[in-house]
Chains A and B, each alone.
Chain A
């Protein structure tokens, strides 16, 4: 029973992480590259319906991933050593999970404090000038791309940490 809760939170962490990164990749691999191919009169279907719904699950699954990940690390007893990137202990798995955690934290920060506020302007949920709207859309896109770039080493770090010290 003692070992059930780390497993349970790992399961929640993977569930929420799949939703978060899945939606991140939906934006970057599907929505953004294809917006230009959609006729102008049909664009509101994406900007007024699909994107706001996707952004809702995107930002809350990002938060859930961070919370369940920190709880999991706490249960497993490596939270502090991993956040110090294993430099104190010289343990590869703690270095790997630590780099993954820091990249995940940076990505979640980007979601909540850069991408979401700028998407609200870009999608017209907050009234701004046309110039600010275009600027906000570009900022949101670039930070979304930053997160896509970071997701590749972040997932490598997360998965590799399970395979050290066998």
Chain B
């Protein structure tokens, strides 16, 4: 199976997906009380 990082388009798509995940995780940390 071809490594998706060999494709520049797939690299950008994965970067955008990671950005969405990051946004959700950061929002969750902000909503949770600190320890």
* CB pair A160 B30 closer than 8 Å: no
* CB pair B34 A89 closer than 8 Å: yes
A87-B19 contact, Cβ under 8 Å, with A28-B11, A145-B6, A149-B5: no
Contact-size category for A: 20 to 34
Set A87, A92, A149, A150: member contacting B27, Cβ < 8 A: A92
* CB pair A142 B6 closer than 8 Å: yes
* CB pair A85 B29 closer than 8 Å: yes
When each residue 150-163 of chain A gets 1 if its CB lies under 8 Å from chain B and 0 otherwise, what string results?
A: 11110011001000
* CB pair B25 A99 closer than 8 Å: yes
* CB pair B15 A149 closer than 8 Å: yes
* CB pair A91 B34 closer than 8 Å: yes
Smallest CB gap from A85: residue in B? B29
The count of chain B contact residues (Cβ–Cβ below 8 Å) is 23
Dominant secondary structure of chain B at its interface with chain A? helix
CA distance A31 to B29 in the complex (A): 39
CA distance A96 to B18 in the complex (A): 13
Set A33, A88, A95, A153: member contacting B18, Cβ < 8 A: A153
CA distance A86 to B26 in the complex (A): 9
CA distance A160 to B24 in the complex (A): 13
Residue from B11, B23, B33 with most neighbouring chain A CB atoms (10 Å):
B11
Which A residues are closer than 8 A to B by beta carbons?
28-29, 32-33, 85-92, 95-96, 99, 141-142, 145-146, 148-153, 156-157, 160, 164
